Structure formats: C-alpha cells, structure tokens
Amino acid sequence: MQERNRKIKFMKYLYIIVFMLLMCLHGNAQAGVQIDAEPSIISMMNQYLRINKSITHISGWRITVITTVDRRQMEATRIDFQKQFTYPVKWEYKEPYYHLKAGAFLNRNDAASALENIKKKFNSAFLSIDKIQYNEL
C-alpha cells in the first residue's frame, strides 16, 4: 500500500513537471510571431508614432498659490507651502510677475478639491489652466 502511494505521488510530480515543460515550450513558440503589413499601413503607423512622440504635454489645471513681483516673497511662500502640502510645486517668471503654482490635475474637480484645502492657509490661491507635462502625472 505504501509503495503504491509513493508511485502515485511520483506520477503526480512527473505530470506537473511535464506540464510545466510544455507550457515553457509553448510560450517560447509564440515569441517568434512576425506580422507582415502593407507598406502604406507601416507608413501610417510610423507617422502616428512620430506625431504622438512630439506631443509632450496636455492641458490641465494647477493651483496658482501666489502671483507677485517680489521673488523673495515667492520663494518664502514656496518654502512655507512645501512644509504644509505635498503637491509638486513649480514657479515661472512672466515679466514682471513670479507665479508659484502647485499640483498637476487633469480635471477641474480634482483641482477644486485641492484648492479648498490650500485656501485655508493661502487665501489668495486660485485655479488656472496650464500645460501639464506627461511625466508630471
């Protein structure tokens, strides 16, 4: 009886090993698939890829925390903001103003929700439409 149980156990392991081996061979067989397409389709796909690679940003929303002509005030506000919130911060200079902006939101509702919390500490903050880089999302 004990000998028979050992044989059954051995056969189970053997079946499992054979099954795993067949699955590995099946997976490798699919790796060699080649798709032949018409030259016009290949050309269209290359054009599509080229156009989409050139698009580096999307229109979205940011929270403008402060707009000022004083760079030191903007930098002090940036430090204060980063101590209280975890949103990514960036600033830009459009003569004569420094704009401190926070967050990168795809839809207005998410931006408005964040603005509610930020306005408790920075009451002059407001929403603004901005270009959002894909790597910021």
Q: Where do the domains of the chain lie, and which CATH numbers do they carry?
A: 58-136 (3.30.70.1070)
Question: Can you tell me the distance from the alpha carbon of 68 to that of 45, in angstroms, rounded to the nearest whole number?
Answer: 47
Question: Can you tell me the distance from the alpha carbon of 118 to that of 125, in angstroms, rounded to the nearest whole number?
Answer: 7
Is the pLDDT confidence value at 2 over 70? no
* β pairing state of 126-133 and 57-68: antiparallel
For 68, the token pair is 């000022």
Question: What is the pTM (predicted TM-score) of this model?
Answer: 0.64
Q: List, for residues 10-33, the tens digit of each pLDDT value.
A: 777 767 877 776 676 665 545 566
Q: List, for residues 48-75, the tens digit of each pLDDT value.
A: 888 888 888 899 999 999 999 999 999 9
Question: Can you tell me the distance from the alpha carbon of 108 to that of 103, in angstroms, rounded to the nearest whole number?
Answer: 12
Question: Can you tell me the distance from the alpha carbon of 57 to that of 132, in angstroms, rounded to the nearest whole number?
Answer: 5
Which of 69, 75, 68 shows the shortest CA–CA distance to 125? 68
Is the pLDDT confidence value at 125 over 70? yes
Question: Can you tell me the distance from the alpha carbon of 12 to that of 108, in angstroms, rounded to the nearest whole number?
Answer: 59
